[in-house]
Structure 1
Amino acid sequence: MKYLIILGDGMADKDIPELGGKTPLEYADTPTMDKYSKMSEIGMVHTIPDGMAPGSDTANLSVLGYNPRDYYTGRSPLEALSIGVDMKTTDVALRCNIVTVSTDELPYEEKTIIDHSSSEISTEDAAVLLEAVRKELENDIYKFYVGTSYRHLTIWDKGEVVDLTPPHDVLGQKIGQYLPKDDKLREMMKKSYDILSNHPINVERMKSGLNPANSLWFWGAGTRPMLTSFEEKTGHKGAMISAVDLLKGIAVGAGMKVIEVEGANGGLDTNYEGKADAAVDVLLNGGCDFAYIHLEAPDEMGHQGSYERKVKAIENLDKRIIKRVVEKMEAAGEDFRMLVLPDHPTPVAIRTHVSDPVPYMLYDSTDKKNNTWSYNEKDGEASGNYIAEGHTIINRLFEK
């Protein structure tokens, strides 16, 4: 038996008037999920422990079977594992986004966050901008490391886990009240605007109609993580397929195989087929019996507030990943169990995460159900199946 989790980050949502009162998951054309939901267990799972922030960090730890209350030490330290930064016990890691703030003449504190991803800037362009910042701001205390797209890392020697606000929670708002209380972090963010606002890359981006990547934004502070081996914990050898450093970092910490897929970028134009093929290959030929496919695109489209693009991301997940995976597994004659779910909702109406339960679909090729459910939020609730502790859903997948 082989096992898969296919996770559409932020895929769950609320009813949207422009979609006829449906959620993007209900509205999207998803023939594969429609077909397999009739043969699956459908339900709802609460991935975010009460009182914890609804982030992809806590939620994906939960889906992988790690209770965030026991294992979570911050988001950025997990990303540091992916980037290859060996943190000291006295280090604090910070997520260092390159964001778009308004280009008006107002003081920095009165500017507004326009875009948390700087028009999904490429890693190549972001690396050039981060190097410009590094030349001006890096020292023995603060070190900067390139991640993926707009997502980067700062290591603070003998730092402090300070309270910081994610930029996607500040979209469209003046930033003053959300800036770090720490004087040095706040000063570096202000200086980064001076360094980046007229950088040649940003001049060209604006000419092309793209948002300028003109400010750093620190958040997600945390200390060195300590994850139990996934294989020791579950008895299964696992592989991670994701474009996002957070997910790759969780996998590194858990001793899972990390598979890099060319063209996988965390955006709507990611390499869907490459992700599907990588998962099937590692299950059939790579010595693993568990694969985790993470798709960032629905979450990014939710943050952008675009229901049209979120629907498209879900349709791509259905037709270009799930369909391809099940067809290849069936053609190989391999028995498999497949869990499809989001990690958390990212409603387009508010453009940030919430901690509501999310719908799941659990399919077993050897035990096909016969029901009328579709895979969406409403049918998940109507099914009556509810998993209150998200970190236990992986036991349902592994039949423990």
Structure 2
Amino acid sequence: MRSLLILIDGLGDEPIPAWQGQTPFDHASHPAMDALAAAGGVSFLSICEKDIVPESCSCILRLLGVAKQDIPHNRAYLELLAQGRDISEYEMVLRCNLAAVDEKGSLAAFNGRGLTAEAMRRVAQACDNVLRDIEFIHLSEYRNLLIMNKEAAVLDCDVRPPHESVGGNAEALLEPLRRQSLSISYFLNETNKRLAPFAHDGLHYVLYPWGASARQTLPSFTGLHGLRGGAVCKAEIVAGIARALGMEVCIPPKATGDVDTDIAAKAEGALNLLERNDFVIAHFNGSDEAAHRYDYAAKADFIARIDKEFLQTVSSRYHEPLKVVVCGDHVTSSVTGKHGDGCTPVVAGYLNAPPRLCVFDSYRQILDFLMKESG
């Protein structure tokens, strides 16, 4: 029996006072998920279990069966693989956010707040070819990568993630990295000059490098489970994970990695992948982005749209027995905008098969349900 994991990034959340303590999942309308739960079950559990960092790379790899010791410390290398690129053993890659800074020098936003996608594309053009020693790669909107020669001091330098650092002094946050690399310090000085014309409404923009990683090999999905696997996604980290594991990847043309993504196209992609693969993961990143913006209403609406435009479509058009799990990877609080290691809803059940109780106590039981033939 084939399996489908519908991963709603950052699905777990905190109670929202304006909704009398409901979370965005509680508040959202999701009749297809409710029907799945009625025939199977709903659980609330932590994927992180307090032994891994509550972020997408580690949690998704855990849900795909990768052992803790094989999970990369940082994810930039996997995001590079998503671009069809690789690096040598002598190079490293860093994530690099376009961040907004206010008049007091505080980090106002980790995601280029106030700029359109087109403006962020022009920012990326302005930051290209600054230094021969550093290659700048624009991914999408505020997301970028830097490739440079490997420096052990940079790999060991734990710069605080920008989405966890809003409100902090931007220069102080980046100072440890500047001290470790003259190349990065020069690069930041030059890009600050090039970004000056984009300042407006009391905000100016800086590049925020972080999360350096080296080349790393992961076990194959087939080797782990004896199954063929596929992924429909847009987020670079998920595409990179899937490619590193040797899974088939589908990226719909109008997928965006945010709440405006083409959900119907992801349903088509999942149905297509299920024709050739034993297991498919469908990843939705917009819920995480909405929570980082403190927009709990948009998060609830996005969950409702996934139910209507994805799960209802798959339920009506897939006619073979299918194991289905809908869950998050970690908590993303719409109150604080930060990740957490608390509990996420996990809805599980069978389509086109007799009802069976599906209630889980840990991520290991989710894995057993999805990856073992008997279900």
Are residues 1:150 and 2:154 paired?
no
In structure 1, C-alpha distance between the alignment counterparts of 2:235 and 2:114, rounded to whole Å: 13
Q: Name which of 346, 361, 370 aligns with 1:360.
A: 346
Is contact 1:362–1:397 with CA below 8 Å preserved after alignment? no
Residue 307 of structure 1 corresponds to 296
In structure 1, C-alpha distance between the alignment counterparts of 2:303 and 2:346, rounded to whole Å: 14
- Bigger drift between 362-371 and 299-308 goes to 362-371
> 1:118-133 to 2 correspondence within 5 Å?
118-119=112-113, 125-133=119-127
Inter-CA distance 322–168: structure 2 relative to 1 (3 Å threshold): same
RMSD, aligned CA: 2.3
In structure 2, C-alpha distance between the alignment counterparts of 1:297 and 1:116, rounded to whole Å: 16
Residue 254 of structure 1 corresponds to 245
Inter-CA distance 124–233: structure 2 relative to 1 (3 Å threshold): farther
The C-alpha deviation readout for 1:85-131, integer Å capped at 9, x for no partner, is: 211112221101112222x2x5xxxx122222224966654343222
- Bigger drift between 118-127 and 8-17 goes to 118-127
Residue 88 of structure 2 corresponds to 88
Is contact 1:73–1:224 with CA below 8 Å preserved after alignment? no
In structure 2, C-alpha distance between the alignment counterparts of 1:297 and 1:120, rounded to whole Å: 18
Inter-CA distance 121–283: structure 2 relative to 1 (3 Å threshold): farther
In structure 2, C-alpha distance between the alignment counterparts of 1:391 and 1:114, rounded to whole Å: 39
Identity %: 26
Residue 232 of structure 1 corresponds to 223
> 1:1-400 to 2 correspondence within 5 Å?
1-48=1-48, 50-102=50-102, 104=103, 106=104, 111-119=105-113, 125-135=119-129, 137-140=130-133, 142-160=134-152, 161=155, 162-183=157-178, 184=182, 185-199=184-198, 214-284=205-275, 287-329=276-318, 333-365=319-351, 366-369=353-356, 385-387=360-362, 390=363, 393-399=366-372
The C-alpha deviation readout for 1:44-63, integer Å capped at 9, x for no partner, is: 34322534321111111111
Deviation at 1:355, TM superposition (A): 1.3
Deviation at 1:212, TM superposition (A): 6.9
Is contact 1:193–1:214 with CA below 8 Å preserved after alignment? yes
Is contact 2:287–2:302 with CA below 8 Å preserved after alignment? yes
Inter-CA distance 268–94: structure 2 relative to 1 (3 Å threshold): same
Query: Aligned letter for 2:17?
Result: P
In structure 2, C-alpha distance between the alignment counterparts of 1:119 and 1:64, rounded to whole Å: 33
- TM-score under structure 1 normalisation? 0.85
Structure 2 residue runs of 5 or longer lacking an equivalent are: none
Deviation at 1:84, TM superposition (A): 2.2
SS at match of 1:262: coil
Query: Aligned letter for 1:256?
Result: M
SS at match of 1:98: strand
Residue 375 of structure 1 corresponds to none
Is contact 2:131–2:187 with CA below 8 Å preserved after alignment? no
* Count of aligned residue pairs for this structure pair: 365
Inter-CA distance 32–213: structure 2 relative to 1 (3 Å threshold): farther
Inter-CA distance 122–231: structure 2 relative to 1 (3 Å threshold): farther
The C-alpha deviation readout for 1:201-224, integer Å capped at 9, x for no partner, is: x67xx7xxxx97822111121111
Is contact 1:5–1:339 with CA below 8 Å preserved after alignment? yes
Residue 379 of structure 1 corresponds to none
In structure 1, C-alpha distance between the alignment counterparts of 2:73 and 2:169, rounded to whole Å: 29
The C-alpha deviation readout for 1:57-91, integer Å capped at 9, x for no partner, is: 11111111112332324210110111122111122
Inter-CA distance 356–81: structure 2 relative to 1 (3 Å threshold): same
Query: Aligned letter for 1:396?
Result: F
In structure 2, C-alpha distance between the alignment counterparts of 1:226 and 1:157, rounded to whole Å: 19
- TM-score under structure 2 normalisation? 0.90
Structure 1 residue runs of 5 or longer lacking an equivalent are: 372-382
In structure 1, C-alpha distance between the alignment counterparts of 2:251 and 2:313, rounded to whole Å: 18
